[in-house]
Structure 1
């Protein structure tokens, strides 16, 4: 039951993280130790499904709750204060960085690993900065653009650190997409879900191959992506002192949640052993 509830909560957070600007659902999947089983299932379903099917039931249910059920709540929270909402997820990600660093070094650390981390961090930071601060392009939402949004979400699942919501915001697609998900609009769902699923299936094998052949380089690259994508979303403007206080509280709350889930993981693994 503890594992089931933990996986349900992880699924909710990953689904919600896919919606929140600047947060990658794939990164959360990595830090919650869900990414590799997910990729195994996508690339070798016959071998992986018998091993993980019970695990993916609460994860899938939680993801649906976080992605669809929480869309309206997250939209309302962002409307009240996007700054405070973002700090909650920053605390969550920062709380999982130590375990992610240990995971990255599980097969050793070479010079190439550190280079990979630095290159990925710089590339992601400046790319997101350019999209968020320099480009000012907006498009008219329609079926094909919603399909494009689904493809971006699929990439954020398979490629940790890919912050799809930030790209959508730069194009002016984020708000109409979020509102469509909140009211379960058929046009939005029929466009974005197929695009997301198709993208995940097409990219899964390529990403999995790279992890098998170059584990340390790939994982340190992800670590660099996590650090850069977290750094670039740090809010820099606050409307009032109370917002600063609530930001601190939510950041600490997110950190505490990540710490609790890490301790729960250790307990589950100890009991299993």
Structure 2
């Protein structure tokens, strides 16, 4: 008789919470669900399942139901809440996720250095940070291209969400805000509008399936360079979303409190991860 894993329930709880945060991160402007998957040590299992399902599914199938349930709740269920929170105070909501990201940076830095930190790794870090910061700043502050909500624009949005899943650090929601598509998508998700859902999902699934093997190959062949590039993207995408406008001192204080809460939540998940590494 197979011995029951004593950490199974703890692992399921951890994966569920991580799934909620990854799903929510996928739709919050400036935050990458892919990066959160990396720092929560779920990115590589996910990519293994996509690229080598016969080999990976027997290893990870027990944990994916909790993760998938959490992701669905985070992506779908939080859409209305996040949109409402952003309307009440975009600064406070953004700082909560900044705290979460900052809390995961130490574990991401350790992960990036597992195979050393050569000159090429540091070049990758600073190059990716510079390119992503400049790109997001240009899209968010300079570019004035706007798309009308509809099937094709939502399909493009789904493809961008897919990119954010397989390419850690790509904060696609910021691009959608610049194109005036973010609010219609949040409204559609919060009301379970089938026209929006059926437009988003095919583009998302197709992008993930087409790029999974390529991205996985890059990590296998150039692990240190790729991971330090991700670290640079995380730093850049976090810097570019720091709020610069506040309604008053109260909002500044509340932003700081929420940032600390986000940081503590990331620390708690990191502890859960260390407890369940051997499961």
Range class of TM-score, shorter chain: over 0.9
The 2-side partners of 1:74 and 1:160 are apart by 21
Identify the match of residue 143 of structure 1 among 133, 143, 151.
151
User: How many residues in Structure 1 have an aligned counterpart in Structure 2?
Assistant: 271
The 2-side partners of 1:54 and 1:194 are apart by 26
Query: How far apart are residue 101 of structure 1 and its match?
Result: 0.4
Give the secondary structure class of the aligned counterpart of 1:70.
Answer: helix
The 1-side partners of 2:273 and 2:139 are apart by 36
Q: Does 1:253 align with 2:261?
A: yes
The 2-side partners of 1:142 and 1:213 are apart by 40
Residue deviations 1:25-65 (CA, integer Å, cap 9, x gap)? 00110111110000001000111111111111111000000
Identify the match of residue 34 of structure 2 among 26, 33, 47.
26
The 2-side partners of 1:121 and 1:223 are apart by 8
Residue deviations 1:62-94 (CA, integer Å, cap 9, x gap)? 000000011111111111111101000000010
The 2-side partners of 1:9 and 1:254 are apart by 13
The 1-side partners of 2:269 and 2:169 are apart by 21
The 2-side partners of 1:264 and 1:192 are apart by 33
Alignment partner, residue 37 of structure 1: 45
Alignment partner, residue 133 of structure 1: 141
Alignment partner, residue 219 of structure 2: 211
Identify the match of residue 18 of structure 2 among 10, 13, 18.
10
* Aligned Cα root-mean-square deviation (Å): 0.8
Query: How far apart are residue 138 of structure 1 and its match?
Result: 1.4
Q: Does 1:153 align with 2:161?
A: yes
Alignment partner, residue 209 of structure 2: 201
Q: Which runs of 5+ in 2 are unaligned?
A: 1-8
Alignment partner, residue 49 of structure 1: 57
The 2-side partners of 1:43 and 1:186 are apart by 29
The 1-side partners of 2:42 and 2:163 are apart by 16
Q: Does 1:187 align with 2:186?
A: no
Mapping of 1:216-227 within 5 angstroms? 216-227=224-235
The 1-side partners of 2:32 and 2:100 are apart by 12
TM-score by length of 1: 0.98
The 2-side partners of 1:181 and 1:266 are apart by 34
Alignment partner, residue 63 of structure 1: 71
The 2-side partners of 1:187 and 1:2 are apart by 37
Question: Hey, which of these two has a bigger chunk of helix by percent?
Answer: 1
Query: How far apart are residue 136 of structure 1 and its match?
Result: 1.4
The 1-side partners of 2:276 and 2:179 are apart by 43
Could you list the structure 1 runs, at least 4 aligned residues long, displaced by more than 3 angstroms after superposition. none
Query: How far apart are residue 268 of structure 1 and its match?
Result: 2.2
